[in-house]
Chain A
């Protein structure tokens, strides 16, 4: 499934609107390929009272010019009313939103909305209306967590007149798969459905018997298959969202490899079936703290045997990647037992699950809803390395972006230096008097400024406050190794940059 479910063209076929008045006819007209065997939707129908149109204006920052935002884009989706006057949508719909409009599908009444909780890993967000009364007649949907492969569901869309259009779908595969925004792979239902492009298509609820089975997050029109965020993920998110601090989906912080190769199995002394080989331990992560090591072979997790591909037998879904046990079946703070084979001996190692400590990440895999951090000193622009910065090079960024920075990002977990901090680099130079001769410097990783080691832009801002003998001495992990700036001249240049290059602020350290 390659194409994500993109904001779709306004659907303006008058015929559809006409026949929609008679739901049965509508179904016949718009679902020519529907198999005859598909059962009729059950009695408990979802009505527009459980749905809210969500219109979001999104604007992301330009990481090449972190003081500016890019042009706005617009996304529309269909939110689901859940308990406590909240509206559930995919996080993708409201990521980098500058304004969210909630619209009653029947009355077309509109109020502003606000993101209450967002989780990029599970691609879910909870919205609240600015006006409490907006949802007073709404009917919250309950979750249906029992759907399994082969079950039939309905995908909900709205006609322009507010009537609910249902498209049937069948769950074809259930697996742990990567989610679009974050870095986690989580439980995903793949469904087969002839769903059509329509207004409000960025979030599409999937229901069964009047309960919510999941939210659609990806759709491939050619294969007519879609991925939905299933109810167990939504339940985890909603439960966490009630806590004082949102913790999200825990992760263990390890990488593993299957042990299908019999030569590897014999070498590590695996006599029975199953087991996966730990290839990497994320520095500072839960696995590292628990004492798991590269080369350990994981035999069981939370009492479930792990096969050689890293799967356990799930009572509902069959074979499922074991990370489900630590990400979705558990929450932050839980203790999960790992049984490993180490040096030929079985050992049980309890792992206390953690949320990812974002401050320990050297290069952020994503930055949403936040202005990128930067600092301009005497025309030199410093930033912290992140994946979104590299992604500014376009779809083939991993080939196009500066290879050294790409490598630092891609292989960051291999650096086990304690407290290594962020990767601060000189991203570009504004030609100014103080930066004379430096205008071609770019993409140089900063190691020290005024003899102080730099592990974040905050370090850099502090170090700049203490010039040495009237100079700023800037050292790079790169070539050139050192440059100097005149401390007084660089302050003058900064004032000039603000004016002449039209940069409102010379730093953002938030």
Chain B
């Protein structure tokens, strides 16, 4: 959006630096990933083993860049070069699920012989032509498609489901197998192909991750660790209404947005307050629609200022609070504090089995797999953040599955209920539940959120049922915390 200066440079230098397709082939990698998705219905068992093909490309320091979703939950990774039949064993160096990027390497030094590391470019101009390289729909040979740059803006990244970053839309279709492949213009990588658009309303729409996002990822991992994006963890509202502006004591210069909600545990918690008017961020005036003019002068969402920062950095706000202007410094120490609405990868599902009752924390993976119709559970999941339900509990713990046995013969009505207390002890996270069920008691009285009877389990009956249930249902592990 705001980096037109980069592409001006590129265009000037590029015509003579054009890489022929033969050279691109020296950089392109076909990735065959065998992965095992976690099983949120039978959480003690591994999930389906599936294999898929994606693309990647070689960058400096013997590294291969691809999408996080190509190598998520991977158990076994093979990479091969164009024109070389030999597959090589690869491993993941870094993976960033919030921006769908990953870096791999191959330990066999022969792999990188004769390859070319691709350089990165800037943001391509709207209407300029780019080439997409990859292995769409699973073929073994390189495929090239061309498209023009249609739009540059913030878009959701579907891999995590909750993150939005700068994205470039092109009119070349991006299909499975294109993922992770380089998008080139004038011999330089201007993006990483990552998602398409499926739907009835649009065709020939593909999206790529632009180089500012890629460069940020590469910089973040320089210290050997990926720290994720940092963010403000607040909501703000445009200030277009003249009465609203006057009531807040604003002059009519069309600047400022008002803070709506400050999410507990986020970076703004304790620094900014509901009702503060944000006038400037790092010295850049904030327009009444929440945009700032960065770099080239094109308006860009205020969030982009923070997007470019790393954990441990600070952001400075000029604000109007209670009618007085002041400066506040906001240290960016966390990423977004609520992970339950993001799809998780490379993590084992957590659960506790007790008396044949399977308790699980509710998150995006759980909801995708179980798709429960329960009104309360859906409400708690969807509104956990917006309705501040997190103040009462860190996680939503639900009774997800009943492994039928005489001990739980009457527990059917409690499926997808949310556990509130056990023997009077508040259950705020799965660890609390595991702990409460370890305490000696004659009865375990489980109260659910809302109106219902308690679910009562007799310790003796649970103990007697334990081996029976383990054996019958093949419960190899009774908890994963």
A residues at B contact (CB < 8 Å): 255, 257, 260-261, 263-264, 266-267, 277, 279-280, 294, 398-399, 403-404, 406-407, 410-411, 413-414, 434-438, 469, 471, 473, 479-486, 489
B445 contacts across to A, CB distance below 8 A: 267
Q: Residues of B within 8 Å of A, CB-based: how many?
A: 42
Chain A residues lying within 8 Å of B237, measured Cβ to Cβ, are 480
CB contacts (< 8 Å) of B413 on chain A: these are 257
Judge if B321 is at the interface, Cβ distance under 8 Å: no
A–B pairs, 18, beta carbons within 8 Å: A255-B451, A257-B413, A263-B443, A263-B457, A263-B458, A264-B456, A267-B443, A267-B454, A398-B375, A399-B373, A403-B379, A403-B383, A407-B379, A437-B238, A479-B260, A481-B261, A484-B248, A486-B242
In the complex, the answer to whether B243 meets A471 with C-beta atoms within 8 Å is yes
Within 8 A of A (CB), among B439-474: 443, 445, 450-454, 456-458, 461
Closest residue of B by beta carbon distance from A434: B243
Q: Which residue of A lies closest to B380 (CB)?
A: A407
Beyond A277-B453, A486-B243, whether A264 also contacts B410 by CB under 8 A is: yes
* Contact indicator A407/B376 (Cβ below 8 Å): yes
B243 near A404 with CB under 8 A, answer no
Q: Is the CB of A263 within 8 A of B453?
A: no
Interface of A is mostly: mixed
Q: A435-B241, A484-B244, A484-B248 are in contact. List 7 more A-B contacts (CB 8 A).
A: A260-B410, A261-B411, A263-B443, A279-B451, A411-B376, A436-B241, A437-B240
Cβ 8 A contact of A481, one of B260, B407, B453? B260
The binding surface of chain B is classed by DSSP as: mixed
A491 to chain B, nearest CB (A): 12
Give, as a whole number of angstroms, the nearest-CB distance from B324 to chain A.
18
| Closest CB in chain A relative to B216 CB, distance in Å | 29
Q: Determine the chain A residues whose CB is within 8 A of the CB of B258 once the complex forms.
A: 480
> A484 touches which one: B243, B382, B387, B454 (CB < 8 A)?
B243
The answer to whether B260 touches A410 (Cβ under 8 A) is no
The answer for the CA separation of A411 and B380 in the assembled complex, in Å, is 12
| A308 CB to nearest B CB, Å | 11
- Our pick among A260, A263, A482 for the contact of B456 (Cβ within 8 Å) is A263
Expressed in whole angstroms, the minimum distance between the Cβ of B386 and any Cβ of chain A is: 7
Contact indicator per residue, chain B 219-258, by CB within 8 Å of chain A (1) or not (0):
0000000000000000101111111101110000000001
Contact of B331 with A by CB under 8 A? no
A434 CB to nearest chain B CB (Å): 7
Are the C-beta atoms of B240 and A406 separated by less than 8 Å?
no
| Chain A, Cβ-Cβ closest to B261 | A479
Q: Judge whether A414 and B450 touch: CB under 8 Å.
A: yes
Q: Is B260 within 8 A of A480, CB to CB?
A: yes
Are A404 and B387 in contact, with the CB atoms below 8 A? Answer: yes
A207 to B450, CA, bound (A): 44
Contact A438 B274 (CB under 8 A): no
Chain B residue at minimal CB-CB distance from A259: B453
Within the complex, which residue of A407, A438, A481, A485 is in contact with B275, where a contact is CB–CB below 8 Å?
A481
Residues of B within 8 A of A482 (CB): 275
In this complex, the member of A264, A294, A404 whose beta carbon has the largest number of chain B beta carbons within 10 angstroms is A264
Query: Could you say which residues of chain A place their CB within 8 Å of the CB of B428?
Result: none
| Contact residues in A for B452 (Cβ distance below 8 Å) | 257, 279
Most chain B C-beta atoms within 10 Å of own C-beta, residue among A403, A404, A485: A403
Which residue of the partner chain B has the closest CB to A485? Answer: B243
Give bound CA distance, A436 to B245, whole Å: 11
With CB as the reference atom, state the residue of chain B lying closest to A256.
B453
Chain B: CB-nearest residue to A410: B375
Let me know if B242 and A406 touch, CB within 8 A.
no
Q: Is B293 an interface residue (CB 8 A)?
A: no
B63 on interface, CB distance cutoff 8 Å: no
Set of chain A residues within 8 Å of B202, measured between Cβ atoms: none
Instruction: Compute how far the CA of A407 lies from the CA of B413 in the bound complex, rounded to whole angstroms.
Output: 19
A407 CA / B384 CA spacing, docked (Å)? 13
Q: With CB as the reference atom, state the residue of chain A lying closest to B410.
A: A261
Contacts of B244 in A (CB 8 A): 437, 483-484
Whether, in the assembled complex, B3 has its beta carbon less than 8 Å from a beta carbon of chain A, the answer is no
Minimum Cβ distance to chain B for residue A343 (Å): 15
Q: How far is the CB of A108 from chain B (nearest CB, A)?
A: 50
Q: Which residues of B (237-295) have their CB < 8 Å from a CB of A?
A: 237-244, 246-248, 258, 260-261, 274-275
